[in-house]
C-alpha cells in the first residue's frame, strides 16, 4: 500500500515555508510601547493611561481619543503578519503609524534597527520610496495613464529613467499576470485586475516591507480569493515582509503566518492561527473566533502528539539495541514504534511483528525491520489530506517539521479526539 497525497495537499509547502521563517527569521520590525492619542492634550491622556484609566473615561473627561494603546510586537523577516480587529479597534491607525503616515504620540517603531518614529522627514521619505510600500483598499490608480505607467509611477517619482522604470514595471506586471494588459487603461480592467495593478506598483520599487490596509476588501469574494492566491504565490517566490490589515477572518487564517488581534486600541494576542484557535487569550478573542470551522485550518502539526514509542537507530549496538527496541514496545504496550536517527529525523516505522520476524531470521538491524510504504507526513499537511492518510494507514503516522525532524504522531484516536474538540470550540 502506497501512502501519497494529491496536488492540493502539496500546497502545504507554503505553510512549510512559514514554519521555517518563524523558526529562523530575524526580526524585521519591532514595535515597542506604541501609543497614538488624537487630541490637543496627548500628554494628559498618556498619564491617565499609565494610571490605569480606561480610554472611555479619558475621552469623557478630556476629549482625547486613544487610537492605539501601548502596542508591542515583532514581525519577522519574510512573514505575512495580519492585523485583525472589529471596526474601531485601531488596526488601520496602527499600520499607518508604522510608516508615519500618522505621527505616533509615544513609543518606537524599529525597522532593521532604525527607529522610524525618530527619523528626519527626509530619511523617512527616502525609506517610503525605497524600502516600504503601501497598498490601500482603494486602488488609487491614475485613470489617464496606462497600466504600465501606473505600475511605474513610484519609480518615476524617484527619478528613475523611463527605460529602466518601464522594464521593471513590465517585470512586476508579468509577476501579477497583467503583462498582456500593459497598454490598457484602468477603466478597461475589472476590479480584481485594477487591484493587481496597485500591487504591481507597490512591488516595482522592490520594497523589503509592504503595508497592505484592507487591500482586497473592496473585491467580490471570488476576486478576493484570487488576489490572496496571487499574494501567497509571490510570497513563496520573493519572501517579503508583509503587514496586512484585514477584517476578514477567513482571509487572515488563509494567508497569515501570524495574526495580531486588536481590541479598543490594544494588542490582545499575537500568534499563529493554531495558537489563537486552540489557546485564545481571553473571552474577546474566543468570541471573535466563535463559529469558525477549526478543522478547516488544522494541520498535521496541530494534531500530532508525542505519545508513541520512539527508538534511536545506533548501528554500533546492533543486537543490544534491537532487543531494547522490542522490549521498549512491549513495556509501553505499543504495536508500532518510530525509528529516528541521531538528528531526530524519521527513518521509518517498525512493529513488534517486524522486529520478531527479523529476530527469528537472525537479522539485528533496525533498518531491516522497517515497514514498507510508511512515510512521514509534513507538519503543514492540511487536515483533510491527513484524514485520508490516517484512515489508510495500518499504523500511526509520524509527523515531521520543515527540516524533517520528528514532532509527533497521529493515530485515528488522536485525530478523532482533536476533531471533536474542534467542533465543541
Q: Return the CATH number at 342.
A: 3.10.580.10
Q: Is residue 376 part of a domain?
A: yes
Query: Using an 8 Å Cβ cutoff, are 22 and 92 in contact?
Result: no
When mean pLDDT is compared across 321-330, 353-362, 377-386, the lowest value belongs to 321-330
Q: What is the mean pLDDT of residues 228-238?
A: 81
Per-residue confidence band for 1, with pLDDT thresholds at 50, 70 and 90: very low
Q: Is residue 338 part of a domain?
A: yes
Q: Is residue 312 part of a domain?
A: yes
Q: Please give the Cα distance from 91 to 419 (Å, whole number).
A: 32
Containing 151, the helix (H) or strand (E) segment is: helix 147-151
Q: Please give the Cα distance from 35 to 118 (Å, whole number).
A: 14
pLDDT on residue 286: 85
Q: Is residue 410 part of a domain?
A: yes
pLDDT on residue 11: 44
Q: Is residue 383 part of a domain?
A: yes
Per-residue confidence band for 420, with pLDDT thresholds at 50, 70 and 90: low
Q: Please give the Cα distance from 178 to 381 (Å, whole number).
A: 32
pLDDT on residue 26: 86
Q: pLDDT tens digit string along 240-299?
A: 899 999 988 888 888 888 999 999 999 999 998 878 877 888 888 888 877 666 666 777
CA angle 253, 110, 254 (to 5 degrees): 10
Residue 25 pLDDT > 80: no
Mean residue pLDDT of the chain comes to: 83
Q: What's the number of domains the chain is made of?
A: 1
CA angle 71, 31, 247 (to 5 degrees): 60
Query: Using an 8 Å Cβ cutoff, are 83 and 94 in contact?
Result: yes
- In angstroms, the Cα distances linking 226 to 201, 221, 230, 231, 369 are 18, 9, 6, 9, 47
Q: What is the CA radius of gyration of the chain?
A: 26
Q: Is residue 138 part of a domain?
A: no
pLDDT on residue 265: 92
Q: Is residue 419 part of a domain?
A: yes
Residue 30 pLDDT > 60: yes
pTM: 0.72
When mean pLDDT is compared across 60-69, 82-91, 146-155, 380-389, the lowest value belongs to 380-389
Domain that holds residue 326: 301-424
Q: Is residue 43 part of a domain?
A: no
Amino acid at each position: 500500500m502506497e501512502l501519497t497525497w494529491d496536488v492540493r495537499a502539496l500546497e502545504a509547502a507554503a505553510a512549510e515555508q512559514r514554519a521555517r521563517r518563524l523558526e529562523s527569521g530575524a526580526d524585521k520590525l519591532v514595535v515597542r510601547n506604541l501609543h497614538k492619542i488624537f487630541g490637543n492634550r496627548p500628554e494628559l491622556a498618556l498619564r491617565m493611561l499609565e494610571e490605569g484609566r480606561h480610554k472611555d473615561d479619558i475621552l469623557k473627561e478630556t476629549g482625547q481619543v486613544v487610537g492605539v494603546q501601548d502596542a508591542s510586537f515583532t514581525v519577522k523577516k519574510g512573514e505575512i503578519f495580519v492585523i485583525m480587529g472589529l471596526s474601531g479597534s485601531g488596526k488601520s491607525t496602527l499600520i499607518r503609524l508604522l510608516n508615519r503616515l500618522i505621527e505616533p504620540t509615544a513609543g518606537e517603531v524599529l525597522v532593521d534597527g532604525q527607529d522610524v518614529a525618530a527619523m528626519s522627514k527626509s530619511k523617512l521619505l527616502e525609506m517610503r520610496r525605497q524600502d516600504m510600500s503601501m497598498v490601500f483598499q482603494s486602488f488609487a490608480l491614475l485613470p489617464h495613464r496606462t497600466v504600465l505607467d501606473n505600475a511605474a509611477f513610484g519609480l518615476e517619482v524617484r527619478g528613475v529613467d523611463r527605460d529602466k522604470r518601464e522594464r521593471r514595471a513590465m517585470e512586476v506586471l508579468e509577476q501579477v499576470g497583467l503583462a498582456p494588459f500593459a497598454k490598457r487603461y484602468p477603466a478597461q480592467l475589472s476590479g480584481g485586475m485594477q487591484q493587481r495593478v496597485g500591487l504591481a506598483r507597490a512591488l516595482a520599487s522592490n520594497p523589503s516591507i509592504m503595508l497592505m490596509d484592507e487591500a482586497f476588501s473592496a473585491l467580490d469574494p471570488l476576486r478576493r480569493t484570487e488576489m490572496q492566491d496571487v499574494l501567497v504565490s509571490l510570497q513563496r517566490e520573493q519572501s517579503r515582509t508583509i503587514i496586512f490589515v484585514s477584517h476578514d477572518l477567513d482571509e487572515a487564517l488563509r494567508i497569515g503566518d501570524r495574526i495580531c488581534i486588536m481590541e479598543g486600541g490594544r494588542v490582545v494576542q499575537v500568534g499563529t492561527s493554531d495558537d489563537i484557535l486552540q489557546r485564545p487569550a481571553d473571552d474577546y478573542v474566543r468570541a471573535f473566533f466563535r463559529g469558525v470551522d477549526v478543522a478547516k485550518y488544522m494541520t498535521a502539526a496541530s494534531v500530532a502528539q508525542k505519545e508513541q514509542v520512539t527508538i534511536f537507530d545506533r548501528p554500533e549496538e546492533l543486537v543490544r539495541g534491537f532487543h531494547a527496541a522490542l522490549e521498549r514496545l512491549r513495556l509501553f504496550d505499543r504495536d508500532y514504534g518510530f525509528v529516528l536517527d541521531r538528528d531526530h529525523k524519521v527513518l521509518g516505522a517498525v512493529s513488534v511483528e517486524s522486529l520478531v520476524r527479523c529476530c527469528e531470521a537472525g537479522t539485528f538491524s533496525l533498518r531491516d525491520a522497517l515497514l514498507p510504504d510508511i512515510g512521514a507526513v509534513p507538519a503543514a499537511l492540511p487536515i483533510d489530506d491527513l484524514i485520508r492518510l490516517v484512515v489508510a494507514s495500518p499504523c500511526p503516522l509520524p509527523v515531521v517539521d520543515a527540516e524533517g525532524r520528528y514532532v509527533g504522531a497521529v493515530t485515528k484516536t488522536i485525530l478523532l479526539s482533536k476533531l471533536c474538540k474542534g467542533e465543541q470550540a
